[in-house]
Amino acid sequence: MRIGIRTKLLTTYILASVIPVVVTLALLSAASAYFNSKQGVDDPQLSEYGAINLAVNLIYDNYEAIGNYDKFYEKTMTGLKGENNRIIIVDRDNRVLFDSEDREASISHRTYEPGNIRHYDVEFSMQNKNMIRFVMPLIVDDEFLGKMELTLNKFQFSMDIVKDLLRVVIGILVIGIILLIFLIVLFTSLVSKGVIQPLRQLSEAAESIAEGNLNAEIKYKNNDELGRFCRVFDTMRVKLKESLEKQADYENARKELVASISHDLRTPITSIKGYVEAIQDGVVNDKGKHEKYLQIIKDKTDKLDRLIDDLFQFSQLELGKLKMDLKKVNSRDLMENILEGYFFEFENLNISFSVEEPIPSVTIGADEHFVSRVFDNILQNSKRYIDTGGSVNIKSMVQNGYFLVAISDNGRGIKSEDLPNIFNRFYRGEKSRSRLYGGAGLGLAICKQIIEDHGGKIWVESIYGKGSTFYFSIPVA
């Protein structure tokens, strides 16, 4: 699966923002549940009775101090939380023992009739929904001592708790922010690693290429934009390496060629010179010997001629200076015209030469001069690499829209390591041997160039020691 940098960035940004928000919300709701359970503010029953319980407990716990207004006030009222709480306690004769809002009345025991509320009934104040009023008997040691009227705030919050709550909320928000920063730093470093690492590899590779080292492979293989860029860059490096190697090979081949051409030119020239000098010096006085020497000189000159011709043709073809003049010709006529002379030539060499019938009759676009050059180069090779008594056979057919020619010989064949190279310019298989027999290694390269210029293909099948078959095809017009 391909995960692009954009997707990665998007995912990390979403995660970096969602995770802290979720964690903060979870912590907040946990804190709120905790404070709820502590206060019971969610349940009015609980909180009402909670408030009453608190007040009644405070009163009973500190009842012995009721004679001391300030002490009793402090013990009870400061124990209550929330606003507008009021406690009034009267004795059996409705004389005020304690009124949290009226110190005077408490001390002078003014009479006060607590509200006409049935015991244990809770009255909700109309004005303030948060306030409850409640009257209950004051019973100490099973003795009815009076009544107490409690006006209490339902929400017995202490500011401490609010402060606690605030502190917790701020704490949670700080945790959320720290988490946010941490995740941003973490994800940024993760994503930037994914960007910086390949960039570093790319720049290192570029540097080593600049220094001429083309072997530094880029190892980053991720399937994102940078991964693809790295792959393209690496392909470029490999191509560059191949082309430099090719260039080096070509350079070597050229140097070798210059060396071998000078050798190939010098050898016949030296011997021609020797024979000519012998004739000039009058050493050759018998007529037969004279004729023989002249024949040798002619053969050597032919060889030189052919070599120079090959070189010239190939360089012209390679430079694109020789253009094929493709004319519509009949394949059978073409073959017959070209091959006519070879029967005699091979017969003289005691090599059997056969052309299989029927030759297909189709129209092909061909330059007869160059096609005959192809036949000639291949057949000259057959002649060279066949022993006397061998045979050359030519077959032709139409296949997949191509006129196909197969030229087989039962000569010495081509070694498998030479097979891929024999169509390369200046390539000579089994070097010393082909120098003895062959030319500059240009014959087949010329054939390849000509056939490709005709829009066809040329290839070879060969078994070393058994023989070779050269195939070439020309498209049917």
Q: CB nearer to ligand ADP: give 32 or 380.
A: 380
- Name which of residues 370 to 399 contact ligand ADP (CB under 6 A): 377, 381-382, 385
Q: CB nearer to ligand ADP: give 48 or 418.
A: 418
Q: Quick check: 313 binds ligand ADP (CB under 6 A)?
A: no
Q: Please, what is the minimum distance in Å from the beta carbon of residue 350 to ligand ADP?
A: 17
Q: CB nearer to ligand ADP: give 237 or 428.
A: 428
Q: Please, what is the minimum distance in Å from the beta carbon of residue 427 to ligand ADP?
A: 6
Identify which range of 4-12, 325-333, 334-342, 412-420 contacts ligand ADP by CB under 6 A.
Answer: 412-420
Q: Quick check: 444 binds ligand ADP (CB under 6 A)?
A: yes
Q: How many residues bind ligand ADP (CB under 6 A)?
A: 25
473 and 463 Cβ atoms separated by less than 8 Å: no
Q: Quick check: 443 binds ligand ADP (CB under 6 A)?
A: yes
Identify which range of 72-80, 132-140, 364-372, 414-422 contacts ligand ADP by CB under 6 A.
Answer: 414-422
Q: Please, what is the minimum distance in Å from the beta carbon of residue 379 to ligand ADP?
A: 9
Q: Quick check: 86 binds ligand ADP (CB under 6 A)?
A: no
Q: Quick check: 409 binds ligand ADP (CB under 6 A)?
A: yes
CA–CA gap between residue 5 and residue 11 (Å, rounded): 10
Structure tokens at 126: 């109309």
Q: Quick check: 227 binds ligand ADP (CB under 6 A)?
A: no
Out of 256, 376, 430, 453, name the contact with ligand ADP by CB under 6 A.
Answer: 430
Q: Quick check: 468 binds ligand ADP (CB under 6 A)?
A: yes
Out of 194, 198, 390, 438, name the contact with ligand ADP by CB under 6 A.
Answer: 438
Q: Which residues bind ligand ADP (CB under 6 A)?
A: 377, 381-382, 385, 409, 411-414, 418, 422, 427-430, 434, 438-445, 468
